[in-house]
Amino acid sequence: MTRVLIVFLSLFIFANANTLQDAIDKAPSGSILKLPKGIYIGSVVIKKPLTIIGKEEGVIIDGEGKGTVIKVESSFVTLKNLKITNSGEMTHTLDAGILVSNAKQCEISDCQIDNCLFGIDMQMVNSSLIQNNTIRSKDYDLGLRGDGLRLWYSHNNVVKKNRLIKSRDMVVWYSHGNLIEENYGEHCRYSLHFMYAGRNIVKNNTYKYNSVGIFFMYSQDTIATGNLIQSSLGATGMGIGLKDVSNFTLKNNTVIYCAQGIYIDRSPFEPDTHNWIEDNKVLYNAEALHFHSLSENNIIKNNTIKGNIEDIVNDSRGSKTNENVIVGNYWDNYAGFDRDGDNVGDTPHKVYQYADQLWVYNPDVKFFYGSPVISLLNFLAKLAPFSEPIFLLEDEEPKVRLEG
């Protein structure tokens, strides 16, 4: 009986391209609608458990430039193998390809969403799967695009193997316990932005050519591991940012070719907590570690700091960079020796702020950053300091050689 219903609905929809909403409304709860190739008119609403699957490539649901293309207002809804296109363009109504609200155990998989202001908007959605979708925004300036993927008060979801291309942000706000794994983002603003979110796992994602790779704000108890952040764009392009976060673990990430590798601002925030920044590769950035405001009690251990113009930047005189635990890192500009061959430097690696870092406190001086004049000034300051250099940090056990 169920199979007959599926076939009937498929033929009914195929013959009447404007009646997708009517077919959804008439389908019994729990039905599976298998759509053949064709164009179906969007602005549909799903208010019952239902599965809609594209039987083949070329199943297009077209919003015709009005509002949100598909609204899901029920749990146990699956959307799979669909192309969803042409949402409205109103930011204040969050016009999206797919909106899911007040639901659980939904699935959106193998869908292509393009020319939609917002991609997938999840509002109070729990225990759901968002997997293997490709999302593109409307062809607007970066700040005018909507978010490609948005989690708002949404917990314990799996967001895996999605591609966000030329969108604005992927945001995780007020959302806890989510797994965000093996996603790809390029030419976005924040490829991944957290705010007031905890107990999330961010694993094995790749983000290239965005303004910011991963930025964590006002959050706690999160692990970010195995991520690649490459070529964040602009003079302040950032790899990974920590602002007012506590009990974070950044491990085995690679940050390469960014203006700022790892940015630390008033983190950890909660008293008597730590952040663990371990086994990361921070390579060929303008600044490897950038400290802003008071940031102490971070444990920075076993990282590879190589090929950066500046290893440490402290733009706030009170940020107390020397009160972090910094040990066992590899610094390519370490000038000491390893006479006993244990791969630990015989003397600590100490970093000072010399005259060439005047640009840190005076942006007007940055025009001369990297110029022969500043380089000469820095050389003379190290050779015969005319003022006391500022002590930034000390690694008591610097690695001398890279292993593996």
What averages of pLDDT result for each successive group of 10 residues across the chain (404 residues)?
Answer: 43 54 95 96 97 96 97 98 97 96 98 98 98 96 94 98 97 98 97 97 98 97 98 92 97 97 95 96 95 90 94 79 92 92 94 62 57 64 63 91 79
Q: pTM score, two decimals?
A: 0.89
Number of neighbouring beta carbons within 10 Å of residue 19: 15
**DSSP state string for 172-211:** EES--S-EEES-EEES-SEEEEEES-BS-EEES-EEES-S
| Residue 2 three-state SS | helix
Which H/E stretch holds residue 22? Answer: helix 20-26
What does the block give as tokens for 212? 């910011």
Residues 6+ apart with CB under 8 A from 64: 41, 42, 43, 86
Confidence at residue 14, expressed as pLDDT on a 0 to 100 scale = 45
**CATH number of the 2-395 domain:** 2.160.20.10
Confidence at residue 293, expressed as pLDDT on a 0 to 100 scale = 84
Asked if 348 and 394 touch (Cβ cutoff 8 Å), the reply is yes
Confidence at residue 365, expressed as pLDDT on a 0 to 100 scale = 56
Number of neighbouring beta carbons within 10 Å of residue 84: 30
Residue whose entry in the numeric block shows the structure tokens 């967001």? 159
Confidence at residue 294, expressed as pLDDT on a 0 to 100 scale = 84
Distance between CA atoms of 150 and 325, rounded to whole angstroms? 35
Confidence at residue 316, expressed as pLDDT on a 0 to 100 scale = 75
Asked if 265 and 290 touch (Cβ cutoff 8 Å), the reply is no
What does the block give as tokens for 106? 């939904």
